[in-house]
Amino acid sequence: MTDRPHNNTDWNRRTFLKVGMAGIGLTGAAIALKQLSELNSKARVIIPPLPSDAAMASGINPMAVLRDFDYGTIKQENGRQIREFRIIADNSTLQLNSAVTFNTWNFNNRVPGPTLRAKEGDRIRVLFLNQGGHSHSMHFHGFHRSEMDGVKPVRHGAATVYEFDAEPFGVHLYHCHTEPVTRHIGKGLYGMFIIDPPKSRPPADEMVLMMAGYDIDDDRHNELYAFNGLPDYYMMHPIPIYQNQLIRLYLLNMIEFDVAATFHLHANMFQVYPTGRTLKPTEETDVITMGTAERHILEFSFRYPGKYMFHPHQDYIAEAGCMGVFDVIERNA
């Protein structure tokens, strides 16, 4: 969860009517039951408290982004459940380090955009408003009809609605598909879209890591790299996790200009669920190679307390900001 407001309050009734969304009201009981069910499914998982120094930096808080899942708003229409999300394309500056300020194009005022989450078969509705100063769009990976493919630019000040069924289950992504696509993604217009299988996966401490690069001088090469938006953040602010507790890591490579990136975990091995499309792992390793837009679920737990690095094994990417540390804590510590 970012500490910045998503500006969703800016979506007034007039905006909804303009995009044809006179939706049926919320069903409070259904929402409460759904939230209770989601809480119960995680009842056996204990999340360490956020470090006191994990403050918001440059308007985002990568420590909060780790476990911030947007389940949308549930509505009932004509006997069917609709899961509705509101996304605004906008601009903001990001302080990448002490010397570099980067002008981002973003979704809901954060880089990466919110991690949208649904269950397979849900009807998804995305209300998209472009206030970014350029034409933008939202293209979702997965199954949908051609008119929902998000390749048609939405001009500044305009809104549109994307609606489709969430399928297939797995780890997907969304991004702006307005040309030049590389520039739009490189400026920050991307995010993760998780579709859970009909039967939930076992309880785990779930978190998201998205790798990305920053071309700060427009030479079509990345000078800086990051997990979840800010270079070196998780080196300066290690991620606390508990010893012997299952970690489920949703991992996405959104690095433009580099054809592939690896992910390596120190002092451990992880189970790999390719694209999140399997319920059983297909391999165990400590390094995995991913092309741009490739994503997987990785599962692991640490036997021993201590601090353990993770990073791409292309050292130039790691040394330019895409590097972090897990701080493994004894449960009774």
pLDDT digits (tens, 9 = 90+) for 3-61: 333 334 345 434 444 544 433 333 444 444 444 444 444 458 999 988 766 656 666 88
Task: Please give the share of the chain, as a percent, with pLDDT higher than 90.
Answer: 80
Backbone angles phi, psi at 152, to 5 degrees: -85, 120
How far is CA 179 from each of CA 69, 182, 293, rounded to the nearest angstrom? Answer: 28, 8, 17
Picking from 44, 49, 71, the residue whose alpha carbon sits closest to that of residue 195 is 71
Q: Which residues pair with 327 in a beta bridge?
A: 240, 307
Cα–Cα dist 259/238, whole Å? 28
* Sequence-ordered alpha helix ranges (H) in 19-142: 28-41, 62-65
Picking from 27, 75, 68, the residue whose alpha carbon sits closest to that of residue 47 is 68
Report the pLDDT averaged over residues 104-129.
97
DSSP 219: S
CB 120 within 8 A of CB 197: yes
pLDDT tens-digit readout, 265-319: 999 999 999 999 999 999 999 999 999 999 999 999 999 999 999 999 999 999 9
User: What is the number of residues in the chain?
Assistant: 333
Which residues have CB under 8 Å from 266's CB, separation 6+? 286, 308, 309, 310
Report the pLDDT averaged over residues 87-104.
95
Picking from 153, 162, 99, 151, the residue whose alpha carbon sits closest to that of residue 128 is 162
Report the pLDDT averaged over residues 131-154.
97
Cα–Cα dist 275/25, whole Å? 35
At 10, list the tokens.
């800016």
pLDDT in the model for residue 54? 61
pLDDT in the model for residue 5? 34
CB 298 within 8 A of CB 245: no
Report the pLDDT averaged over residues 107-123.
97
CB atoms within 10 A of CB 172: 22
Cα–Cα dist 45/65, whole Å? 18
